[in-house]
Amino acid sequence: MGNREGCFRAYSNESEDHIDKKYLVWKKLKKAGYKIYCEARFKNNIRPDLLVFKGGYWKIIEILKTETDEELAEKIKKYPDIEIIGVKTYKDIKELEL
């Protein structure tokens, strides 16, 4: 797994809305004491938006905007056996509880 813990990472091919939502989730979870890896790369080159760890558990958070349900389902098949949480709206971010 690549990337350093706690760093925020965004790419030029991401929409501004996607980056904003990813940052808000990153900031909220960082303040709550989670270890966060943004765009961490797994050995199979798949990169979740956020990989978070706290209390002995890993979770993946995907910001959902441009991906279809079918694309997300295919992406999920490539992830390790970790709970995946989709975030689509700003309301989802506000209500996010891990």
Q: Using one digit for the tens of pLDDT, what is the confidence trace for 10-19?
A: 999 999 999 9
Q: How many DSSP H helices and E strands does the chain contain?
A: 3, 4
Residue 61 is predicted with a pLDDT of 94
The total number of structural domains in the chain stands at: 1
Cα–Cα distance between 96 and 2 in angstroms, integer? 25
Specify the CATH number for the domain of residue 66: 3.40.1350.10
Domain membership flag for residue 64? yes
**Overall residue count recorded for the chain in this entry:** 98
Domain membership flag for residue 7? no
Domain membership flag for residue 73? yes
Domain membership flag for residue 74? yes
Does residue 1 surpass a pLDDT of 60?
A: no
Residue-range definition of the domain harbouring residue 87? 16-95
